[in-house]
Structure 1
């Protein structure tokens, strides 16, 4: 019976040797298949964890970039303060900028002589106001209102806190009505500017001695107007930020 592949068990049962080998082979193959499935499952889990980590890193980097962009752009947003800033221009007609052409230069970045502005306004029947209202758009997502005046006497005590800039031709009498002891004190509280044609490079000695920023424009080349206007706003922003102004500038 052994030749036939049949054996007798101790209990008298029949054991088929050939079938037993087949069963062992089948069992071994099943184990190998199961091991392969487990290995594949582990590999899939590993890849899934790697993808999750990659997504997490991407989100973290995105948040950092967004935060950095917000901080960079924050300096270009309108300050959420209170009070309209005031800019003072010279009251006479000897300055390149006064109440007639201040709006065109500061708001529209386009310089026009005050004589030409006055003639145009007269032809339109528009009189000169005591306060020029301009809307600043440079480095701002929405317009910011500024007031331009030329009469320091008309500024009340509490409103001096809103005076942020002054254009000067170098005459010290312009500051007689300012509530500060001298010009040094003036320019510690108010940012000083001097507008000048580059064809006339000799800056007045008084202006050179004061803490005043000179803005250069061309007598005939209007392409340079925008650069000078941008320099005005950027210098004013830096001044107000350093003084921690609470105005809406």
Structure 2
């Protein structure tokens, strides 16, 4: 039995404790033994075959968080299973799937041939017979066997140089510059469209005000429209509603990247945004939903310093992105987090593959957990829309209440 099949068999049988390393080889109970560094038939997406000791260490430690597993593997001078190979490899070893495209069983290094098979070093076994035209042909049966043997050996030695996934893997390359340029172009386009819509509305309002003013003058009253203010007290306070974000860098959404996330549906890490910024850190950022082009949208102020808010400002606070720590709410004008999240909408942003411990406190709060991918940026828009949907519903309920 080959090393990979033996490891899969012992994993499915839950007999991993019977795999013991003695010297430079692994012994699978009393059944098999293989050299520790022998290459298995499982090929990484990066192109290389995983060794037996790499797979054994992985399957015995797959419960660890991937970053912890990689750190421990390096401390043991072992190659680590890549993140992209992790799930399909584990599914195969645990018997959840019966096969995988990554498995390529090798032909024996020194294949043994039976006495009637073709051996390249023994040409005497090739029988040459004359045909009716006095030309010589290789015996058909032996020729077919030669062809089959060679083709089997060639296929066994074939190795894919590139596939669809490895073509996208560019080591030592950073595409944030491309993402930033594309985001800026999209931002400028949306800004121009927004300005054109505003110009059209202004012109329309002026025409309507002119008509109303003429009608009002004829009737003897002032028909000039009065500005509408948002409700105070238990309603949203006067002025623009406020969204609070943590000032700590260990949270995903900060005042540096909140605009790109909420307006453009693109998550850019805070450290990347800080490097791109020119000038001091902003005290306030204004955001609005750009995904709806047919109707007017509400603008929001985003702030990360609750300590500077006045008593009347707290009436305008409608949402907060939480860090998951109680000390974030120190000196807030509320009794506890229960009162906070009864009056303010709470969000907690996390990566979808983070450990459950990171959201342990948050799960006890009345907070919506929003998950995004570490690498799949095209999924950010759906997460941003989920935030907007919750926020708009919350605003409608507060206005009704």
TM range (shorter): 0.5 to 0.7
Task: Provide TM-score, normalisation by structure 1.
Answer: 0.62
Q: Using a 3 Å threshold, how does the CA distance of structure 1 residues 155 and 245 change in structure 2: closer, same or farther?
A: farther
Q: 1:25 matched to which residue of 2?
A: none
Answering whether residue 358 of structure 2 is matched by residue 219 of structure 1, we say no
Whether the 8 Å contact between 1:85 and 1:147 is mirrored in structure 2 is yes
CA distance in 1: counterparts of 2:292 and 2:324, whole angstroms = 29
| Aligned pair partner of 2:264 in 108, 111, 117 | 108
1:99 partnered with 2:255: yes
* Aligned counterparts of 2:379 and 2:395: Cα–Cα separation in 1: 25
Separation of aligned partners in 1, 2:341 and 2:229: 22
Residue 239 of structure 1: how far off its partner (Å):
1.8
- What is the Cα deviation at residue 176 of structure 1? 1.4
Question: Among 270, 286, 290, which residue is 1:137 paired with?
Answer: 290
- Compute the displacement of 1:245 (Å): 6.3
| Residues 79-117 of structure 1: per-residue CA shift (max 9 Å, x gap) | x75321110001111101111111111111110000011
> Per chain length, whose mean CA-contact separation is higher, i.e. which structure has more relative contact order (CA < 8 Å, sep 6+)?
1
Q: CA deviation at 1:139?
A: 4.0
Quote the RMSD (CA, aligned, Å). 1.8
Q: Deviations along 1:125-150, whole A, 9 cap, x unmatched?
A: 23211111223224462343211101
Can you list the C-alpha shifts for 1:139-185, whole angstroms capped at 9, x where unaligned? 46234321110111111100111101100121111111221100000
Cα distance in 2, alignment partners of residues 97 and 105 from structure 1: 8
CA contact (8 A) 1:105 1:111 kept: yes
Task: Give the TM-score, by structure 2 length.
Answer: 0.39
5+ long unaligned stretches in structure 1:
1-79
**Residue equivalent to 1:167:** 321
Seen in structure 2, the aligned counterparts of structure 1 residues 245 and 99 have a Cα distance that, compared at 3 Å, is farther
Q: Sort the Cα spacing of 1:245 and 1:107 in 2 relative to 1 into closer, same or farther, 3 A.
A: farther
